[in-house]
Amino acid sequence: MNKKICVYAIAKNEIKFIERWYESVKEADYICVLDTGSSDGTYEKFKELGIIVKQKSYDNFRFDEARNDSMELIPEDADICVCIDIDEYFEPGWTKVLKENLNENTGRVRYRYTWNFNPDGSEGIVFMADKIHKNKCFKWKNPVHEILVPTTNKILETIDIPQIQLNHKADNTKSRASYLPLLELSVKENPNDDRNTHYLAREYMFHKEYDKAIEMFIRHLNLPSAIWDIERAASLRYIANCYRLKGDGKNQEAYQILAILEADYVREPYYELAIKYFEDKEYLKSAFVFNQMLKIHDRQINYMSMPECWGSLPYDYLSMCYYELGDYKRALSMVEKAIALNPNEKRLIENKKIFANLINNL
- The verdict on residue 37 lying in a domain is yes
- The verdict on residue 301 lying in a domain is no
- The verdict on residue 136 lying in a domain is yes
Directed axis angle between helix 194-206 and helix 179-189, to 10°?
Answer: 150
Neighbours of 67 (CB within 10 A): 20
Neighbours of 124 (CB within 10 A): 15
Of residues 79, 67, 84, 71, the one with CA closest to residue 14: 84
Domain boundaries, position 112:
5-168
- The verdict on residue 351 lying in a domain is no
Please, which residues bridge with residue 80 across strands? 5, 134
- The verdict on residue 87 lying in a domain is yes
Q: Which amino acid is at 32?
A: C
- The verdict on residue 132 lying in a domain is yes
- The verdict on residue 92 lying in a domain is yes
pLDDT in tens, the chain (362 residues): 589 999 999 999 999 999 999 999 999 999 999 999 999 999 999 999 999 999 999 999 999 999 999 999 999 999 999 999 999 999 999 999 999 999 989 999 999 999 999 888 888 899 999 999 999 999 999 999 999 999 999 889 999 999 999 999 877 777 677 899 999 999 999 999 999 999 999 999 999 999 999 999 999 999 999 999 999 999 999 999 999 999 999 999 999 999 999 999 999 999 999 999 999 999 999 999 999 999 999 998 888 889 999 999 999 999 999 999 999 999 999 999 999 999 999 999 999 999 999 999 87
Using CB atoms within 10 Å of the CB of residue 325, give its burial: 0 to 12 exposed, 13 to 18 middle, 19+ buried.
middle
| Rounded Cα–Cα distance for residues 122 and 46 (Å) | 31
The count of domains in the chain is 1
- The verdict on residue 12 lying in a domain is yes
| pTM for this model (two decimals) | 0.89
For the domain that residue 142 is a member of, what is the CATH number? 3.90.550.10
| Rounded Cα–Cα distance for residues 302 and 286 (Å) | 26
Helix (H) or strand (E) holding 354: helix 346-360
| Three-class secondary structure of residue 8 per DSSP | strand
